Amino acid sequence: MLKIETLRGFAAVARCGNLSDAAATLGRTPSAVSMMLKQLETHLGEPLFETDRKNRLTALGRFVLDHAERELHQFDTTVRAIEGYAKAVYGSVRIATVPSIAGTIMPQVMARHFGRFDEVDIELRDIDSNSILHEVLRNRVDIGIATIGQNRAGLHSQLLMTDAFGVVCAPSHPLAKEDGPIEWETLMTERIIANSLSESIDAIPSRDLHEASRLKAHNVASILGMVRANIGISLLPKMTILAFGSDALVFRPLADQTARRELHILRRADATLSPAARMLEERIRDTVASIMQDM
Amino acid sequence: MLKIETLRGFAAVARCGNLSDAAATLGRTPSAVSMMLKQLETHLGEPLFETDRKNRLTALGRFVLDHAERELHQFDTTVRAIEGYAKAVYGSVRIATVPSIAGTIMPQVMARHFGRFDEVDIELRDIDSNSILHEVLRNRVDIGIATIGQNRAGLHSQLLMTDAFGVVCAPSHPLAKEDGPIEWETLMTERIIANSLSESIDAIPSRDLHEASRLKAHNVASILGMVRANIGISLLPKMTILAFGSDALVFRPLADQTARRELHILRRADATLSPAARMLEERIRDTVASIMQDM
DNA sequence: CCTTAGTTTCAGTTTTTCTGAAATACCATT
DNA sequence: AATGGTATTTCAGAAAAACTGAAACTAAGG
């Protein structure tokens, strides 16, 4: 049966114009190449060369060379593609994160990733946690980074990092005058702008604060806008502030370090990630680890 | 190193969804296929299937399957092309003959050739002997059939057939009244229309006749036109008359059977014919042999 | 928990491919 | 036409690769 290595051998001989040089480029002895060539000619039932000094092809030889070279090129390309993909040199990864991660961690991930894996296509989207869950489940995204509630059927999730909540206020606000962690009691007298992130804080004092709150917003930009206008203060994770805050805002950490947003890294439970995706996931963990260390 | 048979094995397993069926279609034992697959996974450093019941592919598996199937199709096509060409099932042949052969022998050759070799492209041209020589030498034609003089450097030639000259005359001509072979003496008193074919007859009486001739034409149609108009008689090979003669003309053989046109089959001396061309050449010889037998 | 179908492992066998040496063929040169 | 040098083929044995059958193992379904 015709084998690709046989074609490669023939093409080498045809290119070199003699058997010995071809054998050298193939890393074989001339006798091995000779036998291989003979086998090919026997298989085809026709000679490929005019003389046994292999410097002139028959019509069949020319035909075979033409097709063999095309085939070899195609084959080598395929092999490179497969091996490259397996080694995560090529490939594509679709990733969806919450906006604060997209604006803080991901740029650093990319900075570490590029150069070494230039051929990997990465598609990054920032959407809300709930949509991320759905996108991952629908297989429209390979990796998700989100805060998850309980809906985790069919999902593989792992805690990536936690992000401590803190208080945001305008620079003119009394709380901005001081420094250091803030106790819950300090906030009891403040007007709190509730938001979907801060609502998830389990601590009892926080619950009370939220119940008392008369203002709730979902969009981070509008929350910050209100804070800037001194309409009230809000509770947000530090990452969010790093991503969207400005000089016109003051962030002070909470004393209660249990008030944290949990960010999980998600993928479908029933499918393995592509090598490139796994590589990127690893890089995300590395990056988060090194950022955490610096803080 | 990645081999085409490995890809074929993997594709079979991926297609079948299990190893045993794939082994059956490949004509191997499951254990052989299992080992091959393991080798492939080891080579790539990543699993190709989600579980060891081979019914769900990993991302890498899907990628490899996609590329492997394209590759296998391509490879099989190439192999078919090469083997087909070698067996003369495919290929193309360019052939040039003198017009009389193109009009008599070639149609019969084609009739015998088709059906079995439908995929072979044949290009047939009818031109004069001298041009045929040049076309063959320039490698613009694979096979030539022509009357050759001496210019045969770089040409391989072999006598294909001889074609006896005879006399052509109008039905109203005195020679048309009788039947049977004609002696040279009988022609001495006739007005001969010389032509490039009859000029090549070596016999002395023919030389004399030509020297005496006052009329010479090259184009067969015009020669026959003149004969038909009873301007004179001419000497032409029988094949030419079979190809171009009409009921309005009478052909009588010469008694001198040495007066013959020699038709050679020609090819370049330094190149082997393609299998399809060789096949066709063989067919031409067959056909000529069986026609000669019938005559 | 047991059965069953399917897969992997293992050791030995068969097949294929390779090597090195010797024989042979080819080409150029005399 | 003989000769020398180079290239190729042949051959037998060695090495590598692929395959088989039996047995061990594993997962899924009853």
pLDDT of A42-64, one tens digit each?
Answer: 999 999 999 878 889 999 999 99
B268 three-class SS: strand
Q: How far is A265 from chain B (nearest CA, A)?
A: 18
Per-residue pLDDT of B256-275, as tens digits, reads: 999 999 999 999 887 788 88
CA triplet B83, B85, B89: central angle to 5 degrees?
Answer: 95
Å from the B61 CA to the C8 C1': 20
State yes or no: pLDDT of B22 exceeds 90.
Answer: yes
Tell me which residues of chain A, numbers 19 to 78, contact chain B at a CB-CB cutoff of 8 Å.
44-47, 50, 56, 58-60, 63-64, 67-68, 70-71, 74-75, 78
The pLDDT score that the predictor gives to residue B14 is: 96
Q: Give the H/E segment covering residue A79.
A: helix A59-86
Judge if the beta carbon of B52 is closer than 7 A to nucleic acid strand C.
yes
C-alpha span between B80 and A77 (Å, rounded): 21
Asked if residue A197 lies in contact with residue A98, where contact means CB atoms within 8 angstroms, the answer is no
Query: What structural domains and CATH numbers belong to chain A?
Result: 4-86 (1.10.10.10), 92-160+263-294 (3.40.190.10), 162-260 (3.40.190.10)
Pairing of strands B192-195, B233-237: parallel
Q: Which nucleotide is nearest to B1 (CA to C1')?
A: D17
> What is residue B202's DSSP assignment?
-
D12 C1' to A31 CA distance, Å: 13
Beta-carbon contacts of A193 under 8 Å, excluding residues fewer than 6 positions away, are A213, A215, A216, A217, A223, A226, A227, A231, A232, A233, A234
Mean model confidence pLDDT for chain B = 92
Query: For residues A261 and A197, what is the distance between their CA atoms, to the nearest angstrom?
Result: 8
Give the residue with minimal CA–C1' separation from C16: A36
Q: What pLDDT is attached to residue B245? A: 77
Of chain B, the percentage scoring pLDDT greater than 90 comes to 76
**Do B82 and A271 lie within an 8 Å CB cutoff?**
no
When pLDDT is cut at 50, 70 and 90, the band that residue B151 belongs to is low
Q: CB atoms < 10 A from the CB of A106, how many?
A: 21
**Which regions of chain A are under pLDDT 50?**
none
pLDDT of residue B89: 83
- As a whole number, mean pLDDT of residues B78-86 equals 93
Strand B260-268 with A260-268, pairing: unpaired
Q: Is the CB of A67 less than 8 angstroms away from the CB of B46?
A: no
CA distance A154 to A156: 7
B156-189 exposure pattern, b = at least 16 Cβ within 10 A, e = fewer = ebeebbebbbbbbbbeebebbeeeeebebeebee
Q: How far apart are CA A166 and CA A100, in angstroms?
A: 15
